[in-house]
DNA sequence: CTGAAAGCGCTAACAA
DNA sequence: TTGTTAGCGCTTTCAG
């Protein structure tokens, strides 16, 4: 007993214990087909007593069906992604599908590897962040023969379906509001991540719309690593020392924006009178700060939900819309003047 | 072509395309056994051209080996858990094992379900948060015949192996420091989560150590839902209105502690002179706040790493220590006096 | 170094 | 309502 090699229980064990054929046991355990109440009882009883756990590997191989949805995201520590995941889980919960998460750390090669790894388990669908992937990755997704939804961005060409906001448009929108409020000397602070395409697109849209208003970004600063809040503080200090005449700071995310806000408040600077601020994301996390940072919500939960719905529909053999643009709303918070000064 | 039903490529397709037996193709693709360079070339070439992705389901069924490790945690939005995951991934990365995450939302029944679901994929090991599980869950883990590591807590009896800190001891330790610094009227603020056993144990240890010093918790308050930062602010305000004579506030996590800190600073209260504060966790996220909150680090990354190492060792057939207690360090920050006042 | 045969544990399809 | 038969796509084992 003690030294016995471990062997999982099989249908056969349950079959023998209950005196019912393997096939019928299988039917009971899956709630498929008609089985008499008496037989069902016997089977359930035996399965429970033995502590039988079905082997999905064998099941999947035999049925050619896997109830898994591959979800591939850049990071878990960004807060953004857990929320997307929440939306996905919420919808998948009552479809019999299950999300399985893979993380890429914003590295295309890792994304490719993770994708390959996940596809080798033959999931029923893929939800993947962004529209930028290696050629090999795109090829894999195209030839996998399963629904693929790219989320959180729609500025580009999806492999199959896409759900998300236009970051370019988001950048433009914020720029317009800033100009409208009368700010003129604008600084930008962001992450040093050439591979964060969404941040890049926001920045592009932002500068483009400023340009249309005859304004250009006056100073900019990028960071990498470390605590975002602390970095926001430092960068803001550096930038204002260098360019004391700035009247607006646009941050590529709310965390560094919050750091900047705390710094300015420390310094006794009038926000948004003397300097206005805006971030991006709508992070609920920050709700308790002394002022609410102006921001724009990226529709994370909704993205997750809609993407999951597309997958679920397609898996069920239904048609589903394949391009959904969500519209982020600006939240002026307390750090962006609302009218021309 | 267009209406063709999708069928994944198989070893057989590669075999035919390369003119090499399926068996040899399999060997090449897994780097197993000796294969001549020429054959290898042909196979690799064919596989690449076809875009073959191996079917791990079939592979796992045939080999009775699955390179997956089930990781079961209460939540992804808690920040704590992504860090643990980081530690796990870091170690598993070079072992050929892959973490697969399941989330329980702190609900025992959901934990049981998630566990069942994951075990049905026959993973090579389980890493699960906490020591409290339903009887059924414990039974499943015991009879799965794979290594199981319970993490983030060691106050209890593990099913198999355990890695983590003693939350009871952590609570005691903080209480002692608070008393030592001379605080006497102490309030506690936490989450209303009867199922967060670790927070509960910290609280128990805390009150116990205070009692030894002849002090008891003077006031307490619990919250649920909402932004932790904002809640910390509100709760602190409420509590101080109710009990203005408090001289120390102990929070069950850093986020609400930070909210409290911001509130006190707003009010112009002298921290830590008039009121001292402490939280729990050592959240790097908060580094940019005006003051550093006193806290205690929960060794999250280390827990993940050690747990993964135990799994990896056991999977490799090696012995591995099965109870590892990590020791959290107090960080006094700027909100806890260091000597008797 | 390469190949053929036998199954992994389950389910689809059909038969009784 | 229940049982039988034949695989699913791969790897193990053993034979060349």
> pLDDT by residue (tens digit) across B19-76?
999 999 999 999 998 999 999 999 999 999 999 999 999 999 999 999 999 999 999 8
Mark yes or no for CB contact A266/B66 under 8 Å: no
Cβ contact B194 with chain C strand, < 7 A: no
> Can you tell me the distance from the alpha carbon of B295 to that of B258, in angstroms, rounded to the nearest whole number?
11
Average pLDDT over residues A307-332: 95
> Can you tell me the distance from the alpha carbon of A101 to that of A76, in angstroms, rounded to the nearest whole number?
10
Contact B190, B251 (CB under 8 A): yes
Q: Which tokens hold the place of A287?
A: 């709700």
Handedness of CA A70, A76, A79, A80 (dihedral sign): negative
Q: Which residues of B touch A61 (CB under 8 A)?
A: 57-58, 61
B226 falls in which pLDDT band (50, 70, 90)?
confident
Q: Which residues of A touch B226 (CB under 8 A)?
A: 287
First to last CA, chain A: 83
Cβ contact A194 with chain D strand, < 7 A: no
Q: Which tokens hold the place of B46?
A: 């064919």
Residues 6+ apart with CB under 8 A from A207: A171, A175, A216, A217
Residues 6+ apart with CB under 8 A from B292: B286, B331, B333, B334, B335
Closest Cα in chain B, distance from residue A95 (Å): 15
Question: Which of A26, A53, A256 should we substitute to test contact with B (largest number of B Cβ atoms within 10 Å)?
Answer: A53
B69 touches chain A (CB under 8 A): no
Collapsed DSSP state (helix, strand, coil) of residue B48: helix
For chain A, give the mean pLDDT: 94
DSSP B60-106: HHHHT---EEEEEES-STTSHHHHHHHHHHHHHGGGT-EEEEEE-TT
- Restricting to A residues 213-252, those with a Cβ less than 8 Å away from any Cβ of B are 226-233
The nucleotide lying nearest B13 (C-alpha to C1') is D9
Contact B330, B183 (CB under 8 A): no
Cβ contact A63 with chain C strand, < 7 A: yes
> pLDDT digit string (tens) for A258-298?
999 999 999 999 999 999 999 999 777 888 898 999 999 99
Contact B298, B282 (CB under 8 A): yes
Burial of A265 per CB tally in 10 Å (0-12, 13-18, 19+): middle
Contact B281, B254 (CB under 8 A): yes
Residue identified by tokens 């919500």 is A297
Cβ contact B249 with chain D strand, < 7 A: no
Residue B217 β-bridge partners:
B186
The nucleotide lying nearest B33 (C-alpha to C1') is C1
Residue identified by tokens 């939804």 is A149
Q: Say how many CB pairs under 8 Å bridge A and B.
A: 127
Q: What is residue B1's predicted lDDT score, i.e. its pLDDT?
A: 36
- Restricting to A residues 256-285, those with a Cβ less than 8 Å away from any Cβ of B are 258-259, 262, 266, 284-285
Q: How far is the CA of B1 from the C1' of C12 (A)?
A: 26
Write phi, then psi, for B191 (nearest 5 degrees).
Answer: -90, 150
Residue identified by tokens 């299950």 is A98
> Can you tell me the distance from the alpha carbon of A178 to that of A276, in angstroms, rounded to the nearest whole number?
8
Contact A294, A332 (CB under 8 A): yes
Among B116, B144, B140, which Cα is nearest to A7's?
B144
| Global pTM value | 0.95
Average pLDDT over residues A70-90: 93
The nucleotide lying nearest A64 (C-alpha to C1') is D8
Contact A44, B53 (CB under 8 A): no
> Can you tell me the distance from the alpha carbon of A161 to that of A149, in angstroms, rounded to the nearest whole number?
5
Q: Which tokens hold the place of A109?
A: 């090669």
Among A325, A327, A329, A328, which Cα is nearest to A156's?
A325
Average pLDDT over residues A222-232: 91
How does strand B295-296 pair with strand B330-331?
antiparallel
> Can you tell me the distance from the alpha carbon of B98 to that of B90, in angstroms, rounded to the nearest whole number?
10
Nucleotides of D under 7 A from a protein CB: 1-13
Residue A71 β-bridge partners:
A101, A127
> Can you tell me the distance from the alpha carbon of A140 to that of A112, in angstroms, rounded to the nearest whole number?
9
Contact B250, B178 (CB under 8 A): yes
Q: How far is the CA of B311 from the C1' of C5 (A)?
A: 35
Q: Which residues of B touch A85 (CB under 8 A)?
A: 76
B101 pLDDT higher than 50: yes
Mark yes or no for CB contact B120/A56 under 8 Å: yes
Among B253, B331, B251, B329, which Cα is nearest to B291's?
B331
Question: Which of A74, A76, A139, A140 should we substitute to test contact with B (largest number of B Cβ atoms within 10 Å)?
Answer: A76
A1 pLDDT higher than 50: no
- Residue B60 has its nearest CB partner, among A6, A54, A57, at A57
Collapsed DSSP state (helix, strand, coil) of residue A321: coil
For nucleotide D5, the protein residue with its alpha carbon nearest to C1' is: A23
> pLDDT digit string (tens) for B136-174?
999 999 999 999 999 999 999 999 999 999 999 999 999
Q: How far is the CA of A62 from the C1' of C12 (A)?
A: 8
Cβ contact B32 with chain C strand, < 7 A: no
């Amino acid at each position: 007993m003690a030294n016995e090699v471990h062997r999982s229980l099989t249908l056969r064990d349950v079959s023998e214990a209950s005196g019912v054929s393997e096939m019928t046991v299988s039917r009971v355990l899956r709630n498929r087909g008609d089985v008499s109440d008496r037989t069902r009882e016997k089977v359930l009883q035996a399965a429970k007593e033995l502590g039988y756990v079905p082997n999905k590997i064998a099941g999947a191989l035999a049925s050619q069906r896997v109830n898994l949805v591959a979800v591939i995201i850049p990071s878990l520590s960004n807060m953004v992604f857990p929320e997307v995941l929440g939306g996905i889980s919420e919808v998948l919960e009552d479809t019999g599908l299950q999300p399985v998460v893979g993380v890429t750390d914003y590295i295309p090669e890792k994304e490719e590897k993770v994708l390959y790894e996940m596809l080798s388990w033959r999931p029923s669908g893929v939800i993947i962040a962004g529209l930028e992937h290696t050629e090999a990755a795109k090829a894999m997704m195209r030839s996998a023969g399963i629904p693929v939804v790219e989320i959180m961005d729609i500025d580009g060409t999806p492999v199959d379906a896409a759900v998300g906001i236009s970051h370019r448009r988001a950048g433009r929108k914020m720029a317009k509001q800033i100009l409208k409020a009368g700010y003129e000397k604008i600084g930008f602070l962001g992450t040093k991540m050439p591979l964060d395409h969404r941040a890049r697109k926001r920045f592009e849209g932002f500068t483009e719309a400023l340009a249309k208003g005859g304004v250009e970004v006056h100073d900019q600063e990028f960071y990498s690593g470390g605590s975002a809040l602390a970095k926001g503080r430092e960068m803001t200090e550096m930038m204002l020392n260098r360019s004391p005449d700035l009247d607006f700071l646009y941050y590529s995310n709310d965390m560094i924006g919050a750091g900047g806000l705390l710094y300015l408040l420390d310094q006794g600077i009038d926000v948004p009178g003397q300097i206005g601020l805006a971030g991006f994301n709508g992070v609920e996390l920050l709700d308790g700060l002394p002022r609410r940072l102006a921001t724009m919500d990226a529709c994370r939960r909704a993205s997750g939900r809609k993407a999951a719905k597309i997958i679920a529909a397609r898996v069920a053999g239904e048609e589903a819309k394949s391009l959904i643009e969500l519209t982020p709303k600006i939240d002026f918070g307390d750090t962006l003047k609302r009218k021309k000064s």
